[in-house]
Amino acid sequence: MASALSYNLDAEMKITFNGSLEPTLGAELELQIIDPETHVEPELIQSLVVWLGDRYDEGTYLSLQRYWIVRENKWRAAHWSTETEIIVDEDGRLEPLSDSVERLIEEVTPVAQRLGCANELAGLETILKTGSSYRRQRRLYEETWNFLSVMESLVDESRQSVRA
């Protein structure tokens, strides 16, 4: 049995999930993220999957959130990106998404060190502190009212990311 799900967020970002379950071979999950700024996310996902496997091997099971919380948090993240607050419990208590992501990074960093990808996780912390690319672009345009300045900053960011 095999299944695949592809979801296009916009013209520049595509997330593809491919999953297969073969009774004799086990399960396989593949995640592809195509976006210039998400080059660090695969390392987070890889570390998270291993961290979850470690918890499972230890006999620790994590609680699941109700469907309405997950659905609402997806909506919030889609509309407000990293600046959103997410629902963390059934009482509707909110906390900044950035706080949750920072805790998650702290939790999986030892696993990332084991896997050799801890430096890449630092890129996520940078995104949380400086804002996502579209926020930086909008901020720069509001300061300069010049699209050329925005394009020059994108070229500079791209050059820096290639060197890293």
Task: For 97-134, write each residue's pLDDT tens digit.
Answer: 889 888 989 999 999 999 998 888 877 877 778 777 78
Looking at residue 9, its amino acid is L
Measured distance CA(102)–CA(126) in Å, rounded: 11
Asked if residues 96 and 85 have their Cβ atoms less than 8 Å apart, the reply is yes
**What is the gyration radius of the CA atoms in the chain, in angstroms?**
18
pLDDT tens column, 62-90:
888 888 998 898 899 888 877 889 999 99
How many angstroms from the chain centroid is the CA of residue 124? 8
Paired tokens of 75: 């909506």
